[in-house]
């Protein structure tokens, strides 16, 4: 009995020291981590809508849009020129794909960028290459679909060969952002 | 319907061993005989399902309200270690034969990454309690399926004339590769 | 000094964690889709191994043998979480490449294996170099597997095109089955070289 208590106490002490250490490390690294995350996010935003300032729109309801993480309004000289969406989709081949989509108020997609993914190198990872991402630039704000081979019109995205699942996941996430824009953010709604 | 897809997906499409590479150590180490591999599969099924439930409860009701999410890895692994100890004691008392057969591999369930992997996947995908259980159970059945199939093949390999450098692990790994190719065929089943 | 070299050689060759001890198979198969990923995972594991080996060697007389496994795991998990947070805060580019694999180090049996087999019985100094040697051996093995899969599966080495244009990449090698097949073949090669050496 004595031994059990002694063992439990030692194990408890080790756990306690570990937790305290981690709590300290968390306090110390919390701010640099959030600074890094904002930097990464801003860098991704700047590639989809250059030279604008971004401001998060708070208090939005995303309950029907499970991939949308947050929405930002893009302004140039105090005028709204578009919106950027931060999205996380779990439809990819591997863990979640974190990406951003830009939409202009003129009714086109300004571009997309993939921030983090764990797709297969040489296949799904090509979703982060310009060849794939540039397909979305200037597409109209309607439902996009993926096709195998060359796309023949404005609503089609040519899927990465061998990585249909990744291509679909990215396209579906873009569609969700566009639907949200059309339903909730567009002028006149 | 979604739950059914999740369940089947966890068993065959995203088979934990052959496509997610979790739980490889017991898969290679305990798959020599069909009997022991069934025992290992059952032990893992029990631990994995319980671990999914307990880590969900601990994460949702203890860590999230106190904003202690950064302690999740350490908490999950402790939950798993305690569970394994518990299962070990139960098996030792109820079935000494199984205990003998599983021997060193029982404590190793703690470091069976399938168990921690599922707890982490449940957390990052924000599964509900019920989905977590389904995912845990499906993953465990997938593990059992893979390890029992492998054991069946290995019992036969023993009678074959394998080139010398391929004896032991190499031929087992190549067999696993061929099984993985077969399971790759299920990819189109869901999505 | 010879002790240090001995520990390093032991980790890299004599008791190579992947090809001799067959430990840490999960990350070995999962992250070796490219050479860089393999080496990165190997180095992150090295950092955890050194840290946990030192601490466990320090505590070897305090930890009762009955609760040693949970105690070791807590120490390892603490180091993994620490490295996760530090990389995220100060070396974000490395974190981007490795982030998803870091939590998996907790369940890498190489780390727990060394704690149990070496650090809990040896001095702090030797344990440090044992961790370093094992870690480098692990990183080297993962790098090799990753390189083979990258060159034949995607036609690239460290991200640069190395195969001529007419070479059609064997895509299956970067997919799940390729991991098993490449590792199996490298294993056979390792056995073959060893048996040649034994004869000579």
ipTM of the complex: 0.81
Q: From CA B60, how far away is CA B62, in angstroms rounded?
A: 6
Beta bridge partners of A157: A146
- Residue C135 has a pLDDT of 92
> Do residue A168 and residue B191 have CB atoms under 8 angstroms apart?
yes
CA distance B79 to B119: 10
Q: Does A8 touch chain B (CB under 8 A)?
A: no
Alpha-carbon gap: B165 to the closest alpha carbon of chain C (Å):
5
| pLDDT tens track, chain C, 200 positions | 567 888 888 888 888 888 888 888 878 888 888 888 888 889 889 999 999 999 999 998 888 887 788 888 889 999 998 888 888 888 887 787 666 678 778 878 888 888 888 888 888 988 999 999 999 999 999 999 999 988 888 788 887 787 777 777 787 887 788 889 999 999 899 888 888 877 76
* Whether B124 and A95 lie within 8 Å, measured CB to CB: yes
Give the whole-angstrom CA distance, residue B160 versus residue B165: 14
Check C174 against A7: CB less than 8 A apart.
no
Q: A20 at the C interface (CB within 8 A)? A: no
Q: Enumerate neighbours of B (3 or more CB pairs within 8 A).
A: A, C
Residue C187's domain comprises: 2-199
At residue B20 the predicted structure's pLDDT band, cuts being 50, 70 and 90, is confident
pLDDT confidence of residue C141? 92
Residues of chain C positioned with their CB less than 8 A from the CB of B171: 184
Distance of alpha carbon A62 from alpha carbon A69, whole angstroms:
8
pLDDT recorded at residue B116: 85
User: Cβ distance A138 to A151 under 8 Å?
Assistant: no
pLDDT of residue B143: 92
- Best mutation target, B121, B174, B182, to test chain C (most C CBs within 10 A): B174
Distance, in Å, from the CA atom of B171 to the CA atom of C180, rounded to the nearest integer, reads 10
The answer to whether the CB of B43 falls within 8 A of the CB of B102 is yes
Q: Token pair of C188, please?
A: 């056979």
Is residue B102 very low, low, confident or very high in pLDDT (cuts 50, 70, 90)? Answer: low
Report how far residue A51's alpha carbon sits from residue B120's, in angstroms, rounded to the nearest whole number: 38
Segment 61-90 of chain B within 8 Å of chain C by CB: 70-71, 73-74, 77-78, 81-82, 85
| Closest residue in B to A88 (Cα–Cα) | B125
Inter-chain touch C67–A3, beta carbons under 8 Å: no
Look up residue A18 and give its two tokens: 């570990």
C37: chain A residues, CB-CB within 8 Å: 121
> Chain A contacts of B71, Cβ < 8 Å?
19, 22
Cβ-based contacts of C156 with chain A (< 8 Å): 122
Q: Note whether A96 contacts B71, CB cutoff 8 Å.
A: no
- Measured between beta carbons, the chain B residues lying within 8 angstroms of C179 are 21, 177, 180
DSSP string, chain B: -HHHHHHHIIIIIT-TTTTT--SHHHHHHSTTSHHHHHHHHHHHHHHHHHHHHHHHHHIIIIIGGGT-GGGHHHHHHHHHHHHHHHHHHHHHHH-HHHHHHHTTHHHHGGG-HHHHHHHHHHHHTT--HHHHHHHHHHHHHHHHHHHHHHHHHHHHHTTS---GGGTTHHHHHHHHHHHHHHHHTTGGG--
Window from A147-156, B95-104, C60-69, C132-141 with minimum mean pLDDT: B95-104
Residues C125, C100 contacting (CB under 8 angstroms) = no
Of the listed ranges A19-28, A74-83, C81-90, C162-171, the least confidently predicted one is: C162-171
pLDDT at A80 over 60: yes
pLDDT, average across residues B70-95: 83
C-alpha angle A51-A54-A55 in degrees, rounded to nearest 5: 165
Q: Do the chains contact at A22 and B191, CB–CB below 8 Å?
A: no
- Contact assignment for C109 to B111 by CB distance below 8 Å: yes
Q: Are C63 and C71 in contact (CB under 8 A)?
A: yes
* Residues of chain B neighbouring C73 (CB-CB closer than 8 A): 77-78, 81, 110
Q: How far is C152 from chain A (nearest CA, A)?
A: 11
Which tokens go with C93?
């580019």
Give the C-alpha separation, B90 to B84, whole Å. Answer: 10
pLDDT value for A146? 83
pLDDT at residue A94 in the model = 66
H or E segment and range at residue A34: helix A2-48
Q: Residue A108: what are its φ and ψ, rounded to 5°?
A: -135, 165
Q: Which residue has the tokens 């797709």?
A: A119
Which chains does chain A touch, 3 or more C-beta pairs < 8 A?
Answer: B, C
Write down the pLDDT at residue C100. Answer: 65
DSSP code at position A50: T
Contacts of C74 in chain B (CB under 8 A): 74, 77-78
Question: What 3-state DSSP class applies to A74?
Answer: strand
- A6 → chain C, closest CA residue: C64
Pair of tokens at residue B33: 């005989």
Under an 8 A CB cutoff, do A96 and B124 touch?
yes
**Residues near C6 by beta carbon (within 8 Å), at least 6 away in sequence:** none
d(CA A173, CA A101): 9
Min Cα separation C37/chain A (Å): 10
Total-model pTM: 0.81
The mean pLDDT value of chain B amounts to 83
The C-alpha atoms of residue A134 and residue A113 are separated, in whole angstroms, by 9
Whether the CB-CB separation of C162 and C155 falls below 8 Å is answered with yes
Confidence of residue A107 (pLDDT cuts 50, 70, 90): confident
**Average pLDDT in the B25-37 region?**
83
Total domains in the fold of chain C: 1
- Please tell me the distance from the alpha carbon of residue B120 to that of residue C81, in angstroms, as a whole number: 14
Rounded average pLDDT over B33-37 = 85
Whether B148 has a pLDDT exceeding 90, the answer reads yes
Judge: B70–A26 Cβ closer than 8 Å, yes or no: yes
């Amino acid at each position: 009995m004595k031994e059990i208590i002694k063992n439990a106490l030692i194990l408890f002490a080790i756990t306690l020291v570990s937790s305290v250490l981690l709590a300290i490390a968390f306090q110390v690294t919390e701010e640099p981590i959030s600074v890094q995350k904002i930097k990464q996010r801003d860098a991704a935003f700047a590639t989809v809508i250059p030279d604008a300032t971004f401001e998060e729109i708070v208090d939005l309801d995303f309950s029907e849009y499970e991939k949308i993480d947050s929405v930002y309004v893009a302004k140039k000289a105090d005028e709204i020129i578009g919106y950027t969406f931060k999205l996380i989709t779990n439809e990819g081949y591997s863990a979640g794909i974190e990406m951003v989509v830009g939409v202009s108020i003129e009714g086109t997609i300004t571009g997309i960028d993939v921030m983090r993914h764990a797709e297969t190198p040489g296949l799904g990872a090509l979703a982060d290459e310009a060849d794939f991402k540039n397909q979305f630039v200037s597409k109209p704000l309607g439902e996009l679909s993926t096709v195998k081979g060359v796309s023949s019109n404005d609503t089609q995205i040519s899927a990465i060969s061998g990585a249909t699942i990744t291509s679909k996941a990215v396209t579906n996430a873009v569609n969700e952002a566009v639907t949200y824009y059309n339903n909730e953010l567009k002028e006149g709604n | 319907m979604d739950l059914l897809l999740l369940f089947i997906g966890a068993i065959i499409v995203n088979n934990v061993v052959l496509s997610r590479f979790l739980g490889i150590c017991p898969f290679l180490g305990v798959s020599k005989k069909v009997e022991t591999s069934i025992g290992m599969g059952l032990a893992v099924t029990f631990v994995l399902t319980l671990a999914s439930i307990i880590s969900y409860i601990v994460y949702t009701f203890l860590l999230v309200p106190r904003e202690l999410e950064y302690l999740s890895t350490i908490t999950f692994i402790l939950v798993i270690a305690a569970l394994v100890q518990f299962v070990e004691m139960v098996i030792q008392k109820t079935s000494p034969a199984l205990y003998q057969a599983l021997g060193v591999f029982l404590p190793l369930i703690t470091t069976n990454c399938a168990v921690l992997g599922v707890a982490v996947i449940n957390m990052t995908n924000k599964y509900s309690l019920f989905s977590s259980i389904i995912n845990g159970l499906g993953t465990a059945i997938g593990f059992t399926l893979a390890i029992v199939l492998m054991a069946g093949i290995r019992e036969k390999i023993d009678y074959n004339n394998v080139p010398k450098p391929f004896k032991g692990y190499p031929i087992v790994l190549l067999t696993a590769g061929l099984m993985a190719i077969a399971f790759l065929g299920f990819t189109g089943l869901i999505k | 000094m010879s002790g240090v070299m001995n520990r390093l050689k032991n980790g890299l060759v004599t008791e190579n964690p992947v090809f001799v001890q067959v430990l840490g198979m999960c990350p070995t198969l999962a992250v070796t889709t490219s050479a860089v990923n393999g080496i990165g995972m190997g180095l992150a594991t090295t950092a955890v191994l050194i840290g946990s080996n030192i601490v466990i060697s320090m505590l070897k007389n305090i930890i009762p043998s009955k609760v040693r496994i949970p105690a070791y795991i807590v120490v390892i998990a603490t180091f993994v979480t620490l490295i996760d947070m530090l990389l995220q805060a100060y070396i974000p580019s490395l974190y981007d490449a490795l982030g998803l694999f870091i939590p998996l180090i907790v369940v890498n049996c190489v780390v727990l294996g060394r704690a149990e087999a070496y650090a809990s019985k040896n001095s702090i100094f030797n344990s440090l170099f044992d961790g370093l040697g094992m870690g480098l051996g692990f990183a080297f093995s993962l790098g090799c597997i990753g390189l083979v899969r990258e060159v034949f599966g995607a036609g690239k080495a460290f991200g640069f095109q190395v195969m001529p244009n007419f070479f059609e990449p064997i895509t299956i090698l970067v997919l799940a089955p390729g991991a098993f097949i490449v590792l199996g073949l490298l294993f056979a090669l390792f056995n073959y070289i060893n048996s040649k050496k034994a004869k000579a």
